[in-house]
Chains A and B, each alone.
Chain A
Amino acid sequence: MTDSEIISLMKQSPQDGHRALFEEYYSYVYAISVNILRGYGSAEDVEECVIDSFAAVINALRDEAIKPFIGTVTRNKTLNMRRTLAGGLGRNISIDSDDFGDVPNSVQVDTYIEKSERTAFILQRIKELGEPDSVIIIQKYFYEQNANEIGRLIGMKPAAVRMRCTRAIKKLRRLLSDLD
């Protein structure tokens, strides 16, 4: 469904529109939240950010491109939570810190590009594992889903998910040994 169709539906039938927005952008919002909160928050914190982001977007959305708006809202909400969590953990982030999320300078961009290429390589190796292993790896290690959740997603028993995950990691380790 396109953004304009979603906005139109939200006017005609708000709940249907909300659901359409939610379904269209759920993975996107979740991915941003889990990525920012990695190492700081729990799965509940990620879900909290997802819920809060969608609620904020629904309350504030006008006739505009949804994706950039929802991305910005999600990022800001999640960064706020991360700073709160980091403060509670004694991990305060300086405004000068690389982790503060400022616009990267040229040096940072160069480093970022190098990392991007490296991680693109890693992702390609994951893709070479084929499904469902590649899906399991992403769900577990990027989205931090547990075996039950992954199993429900891909129609597999949790025990089978765990077994495939263990074997996939071992395969991936071999594939990535070329990186070094």
Chain B
Amino acid sequence: MKKNDIFNHISDDDAAKIAAEYPTGDKNQRDRLFREVEKRVNGSFSADDEVRGVDTYRPRIAMKIISAAAAFVFIAGAARGGYHLLIKDKRSTENSSVSDISEPSTVEETIFETAAVSEQITKEELLEKIYSRNYESFDRINMKYRENMNGISFMDGIIKRDGSTGNESVMKTWTHTPEYLEDIDTDILERDNTTPEELAQTSTHNEMFFVKDMFICIYNSTSKEGPGMYEILKRSTYTLDRPTIFSDTYSERLIRDLIEHFDIQDITENTSFIGRNCTEVFMTYIGSERSADEAASDLPMEPKMAPEEDDLTTFNSEYDQELSLTIDNETGFILKAKLSYDDYYEEFEVNELLFNDNAELPENGEYIRNHIAECEPLYDDLGCYDLSVID
């Protein structure tokens, strides 16, 4: 975790000037601390007495180092900050004598890094939790999820995995808003006699089955009349399910491509999402500076409304980015994620997560054969695969 060295051992005099111009402590915080002050005044004890008790603060003796922020001298402030909760009158600091004995400060470079959080889980521990996830350790897993691109393109997915056989299935349904479809060539719209609004009412649906050494894919779209298409490929030639089909999810792409570049800003432990105990993390990345020429050379000939689908989660080092994660404490799975920069965002959210006896097996051979029977082959030589061995 990086440190922020903006503030580092400024004098008490300067700390006082900061306090005068920038008061701190919202009402909740002040009320809470004042209650403790009153308890201590009325009980006439202090932290030095090392009092233990349910309602008292416990003096901390051994703590991890949690933060290092550079200090700087506060220039003599006249006006107060105008934020509405703590507006105070101008205060004179001329009578202050306590700051005469000031701690000598060492010259520090101003290094901008993120401030450390309190003694919560560290980034290393958090990453360890995420990296410890193992989809193969369960007899069965079902995951229902949604991927959302900027609120204009959606993919709803259902994954089923049978840990004992390694068979997997994933159903994906794509829907789009008219805004997403506005870039479609007008010639194509005219050819198909349709409009972005009409297309937005349709959906594309893929079913993928990873069964034994076969990768079976069935394509359907409600925008097209007639049967769907299917193809059967050799499973080993594709990496979609390496080591499991979950590798193809947005959350896994985040872990592979992005997380290491980001710094943790906030961690909230013991939250709840879809009935599971989770940790919420907020991370940021500050983009690297580029010269105007470099930036100009990358401009597309035509403005893109949104990155291409294949670009999702490919790390872009130029932009300032924010990443929010909700991580399942038991499994290390990412259950929720949101990546945003400028006005663009991508979201991932698990709607349902089931394990073992609560989860369903992937679709069986009968289901697959029946669906294929309703479709036409994408290629002519698909007959070489024997679908009877699926079960």
Contact = CB atoms under 8 A, between A and B. Distances in A.
Are these two chains actual partners, yes or no?
yes
Interface of A: 15, 18-19, 22-23, 26-28, 30-32, 34-36, 38-45, 47-48, 50-52, 54-56, 58-59, 65, 67-68, 71-72, 75, 80-81, 84-85, 88-89, 98-99, 101-104, 108, 111-112, 114-120, 122-124, 127, 131-132, 134-135, 137-149, 152-155, 158-159, 162-163, 165-167, 169-170, 172-173, 176, 179
Nearest to B8: A38
Contact of A144 (B22, B67, B81, B106): B67
A152 B245 CA distance: 42
Given A42-B66, A159-B282, 9 more contacts: A71-B97, A131-B82, A138-B18, A142-B7, A143-B22, A147-B266, A158-B266, A162-B265, A170-B287
Contacts of B85: 153-155
B57 interface: yes
Given A54-B37, A71-B99, A153-B25, A162 B322 contact: yes
Given A55-B46, A122-B110, A152-B28, A88 B83 contact: no
Q: Determine the main DSSP class of B at the interface with A.
A: loop
Interface of B: 4, 6-12, 14-16, 18-20, 22-30, 33-34, 36-38, 40-41, 44, 46-48, 57, 59-69, 71-75, 81-86, 95-99, 101-107, 110, 112, 115, 117-119, 265-266, 282, 284, 286-287, 320, 322, 324
A76 B99 CA distance: 12
Given A55-B37, A68-B97, A142-B71, A45 B60 contact: yes
Given A35-B71, A123-B75, A147-B266, A142 B41 contact: no
A139 B85 CA distance: 14
A59 B69 contact: no
Contact of A22 (B19, B34, B99): B34
Contacts of A65: 95
24 contacts: A18-B34, A18-B41, A31-B15, A38-B7, A42-B118, A48-B57, A68-B96, A71-B97, A71-B99, A75-B12, A98-B103, A115-B107, A119-B71, A119-B73, A119-B74, A122-B6, A123-B72, A131-B82, A135-B81, A138-B18, A152-B27, A153-B86, A154-B85, A170-B320
A68 B6 contact: no
Contacts of B110: 122, 176, 179
Contact of B115 (A50, A144, A176): A144
A72 B98 contact: yes
B118 A101 contact: no
A166 B322 contact: yes
Contacts of A48: 47, 57, 59-60
A162 B281 CA distance: 12
Given A99-B103, A142-B7, A166-B322, A51 B62 contact: no
Q: Determine the main DSSP class of A at the interface with B.
A: helix
Interface pairs A-B: 3 shortest CB-CB:
A119-B72, A71-B98, A119-B73
Nearest to A51: B36
Contacts of B102: 104, 112
Given A18-B38, A104-B102, A112-B104, A30 B60 contact: no
A71 B6 CA distance: 23
B41 A89 contact: no
Contacts of B41: 18, 55, 58-59
Contacts of A118: 72-73, 107
Contact of A89 (B22, B23, B65): B65
Contacts of A52: 40, 46-48
A159 B26 CA distance: 17
Nearest to A47: B33
A111 B16 contact: no
B46 A56 contact: yes
Given A71-B98, A88-B62, A35 B322 contact: no
Contacts of B47: 48, 51-52, 81
A26 to B, nearest CB: 5
A130 B306 CA distance: 32
A23 to B, nearest CB: 7
A19 B23 contact: no
A103 B104 CA distance: 9
B73 to A, nearest CB: 4
A146 B117 contact: yes
Given A38-B9, A101-B103, A134-B81, A71 B96 contact: yes
Q: Which of B30, B74, B86, B102 is packed against the most chain A CB atoms within 10 Å?
A: B74
Contacts of A159: 282, 324
Given A32-B12, A38-B71, A120-B73, A55 B30 contact: no
